[in-house]
Amino acid sequence: MTLIMPEKYYQKTSGLRSLSRSLISILNPLIATALYSFIGLNGVIAVDISSFLIAFTALLFFVKIPENKNNKKESVLVLAKEGLMFLRENPLIMALILFMSGVNLVASAFDAVLPGHVLPNPKGGSSVLGIVTSCSGIAMIVGSLVVSVLPKPKNRVKIIYLTMLFSLGTENFLLAFSREPLLWCIGQMIGWILVPIMSANLDVVLRTTIPVELQGRIYACRNTLQFFTIPIGLFIGGFMVDNVCEPFMRVYGNLSVLKTFFGPGKGSGAALMMLILGVSGSLICLITGKKLKKYQYNEE
């Protein structure tokens, strides 16, 4: 994207990319189900192959990417070393990547905990879980549209950690202390609507700071460091609910304070875990925000 898009459109383009991903995640199951009922599995596969051919043709003939004149051949290890050295010499980028690694840890743990909170609830169930989960996709669509029209902010780095502080804190605390589906939906909307705004500002910071010739290797290092915590978070979330929080609430859940905050019976342990995630996410954002104030980012 850096090679084919003017810098002034980075934020808008990132918002539109988030919009595309959100629409795909919401519409794909609906369209696939509708097509399956009319044309069967073979028809769905044919539509899938056709959509691939359309995308492939568009990329092959209509999207022109400028050639990189640097034809120097280097080994994968050398390229990886250069990427890591750049991150060492640019602590702002490294701090942002590690920050997002922590955010992904908390967010993925939340994804593992959410079903354990909603399904056992008397007002919950599988259909309610589907509605609550879909609210995150709707929020992403709204957030993507908003960031596509927002003007350039004064401080992109500040936007990154403040949006995540609001999202991780508000969503986890609201779901931890509530037992109403409407509040769960509101929590999901609040938690996800700011994600495209954060993502767009992070994308602009990375693209305007990292030299074009290094972006491939830096983004590879970034993806490794930023996303390896997702499976860890999923494991921790499920493990904590099943082996720590639920057993704890079975023993001490009759205490009036715990029952008032987290409710009675099964699912109260998941609510307790959401409180832990809310505190953890807020601390990550506050500590990182304090650290990021030491660094300067100037968007030219």
For the cut 70, the answer to whether the pLDDT of residue 58 exceeds it is: yes
Percent of the chain with pLDDT over 70: 94
Lowest-confidence range among 62-66, 112-116, 162-166, 169-173? 62-66
pLDDT score for 282: 96
First-residue to last-residue Cα distance in the chain: 18
pLDDT score for 267: 86
In a domain, 70, yes or no: no
pLDDT score for 1: 67
Q: Could you read off the pLDDT of 174-224 as tens digits, one per residue?
A: 999 998 999 999 999 999 999 999 999 999 999 888 888 888 888 888 888
pTM: 0.85
Q: What is the mean pLDDT of residues 151-180?
A: 92
In a domain, 45, yes or no: no
In a domain, 247, yes or no: yes
How far out from the chain centre does Cα 144 lie? 13
Q: Hey, how many other C-beta atoms are within 10 angstroms of the C-beta on 245?
A: 24
Which residue range is the domain that position 143 belongs to? 75-292
Lowest-confidence range among 43-52, 79-88, 118-127? 79-88
The answer to whether 158 touches 205, Cβ cutoff 8 Å, is no
pLDDT score for 25: 73
> Where does residue 33 rank: exposed (0-12), middle (13-18), buried (19+ CB within 10 A)?
exposed
The answer to whether 156 touches 149, Cβ cutoff 8 Å, is no
Q: What is the mean pLDDT of residues 39-53?
A: 91
Closest CA to 270 of 163, 115, 126: 115
- Overall number of domains in the chain: 1
DSSP 267: T
For the cut 60, the answer to whether the pLDDT of residue 71 exceeds it is: no
pLDDT score for 13: 84
Long-range contacts, 267-271 (Cβ 8 Å, 24+): 267/116, 267/117, 267/118, 267/119, 267/120, 267/121, 267/124, 269/116, 269/241, 269/244, 269/245, 270/113, 270/114, 270/116, 270/117, 270/241, 270/245, 270/246, 271/117, 271/175, 271/176, 271/177
In a domain, 152, yes or no: yes
Residue bearing the bigger pLDDT, 71 or 121: 121
Q: Angle at the Cα of 175 (from 179 to 162), degrees rounded to 5?
A: 160
In a domain, 167, yes or no: yes
Q: For residue 241, give the amino acid letter.
A: V
Lowest-confidence range among 9-18, 24-33, 156-165, 211-220? 24-33
In a domain, 280, yes or no: yes
Per the prediction, the chain carries an average pLDDT of 88
In a domain, 237, yes or no: yes
For the cut 70, the answer to whether the pLDDT of residue 68 exceeds it is: no
Closest CA to 144 of 54, 298, 40, 20: 20
For the cut 80, the answer to whether the pLDDT of residue 300 exceeds it is: no
CATH of the domain at 157: 1.20.1250.20
The answer to whether 56 touches 184, Cβ cutoff 8 Å, is no
pLDDT score for 88: 86
> Where does residue 66 rank: exposed (0-12), middle (13-18), buried (19+ CB within 10 A)?
exposed
Q: Could you read off the pLDDT of 226-267 as tens digits, one per residue?
A: 999 999 999 999 999 999 999 999 998 888 888 888 988 888
User: How many residues does this entry show for the chain?
Assistant: 300
pLDDT score for 50: 94
Q: What is the DSSP string of 179-228?
A: --HHHHHHHHHHHHHTHHHHHHHHHHHHHHHS-GGGHHHHHHHHHHHHHT
In a domain, 47, yes or no: no
For the cut 70, the answer to whether the pLDDT of residue 67 exceeds it is: no
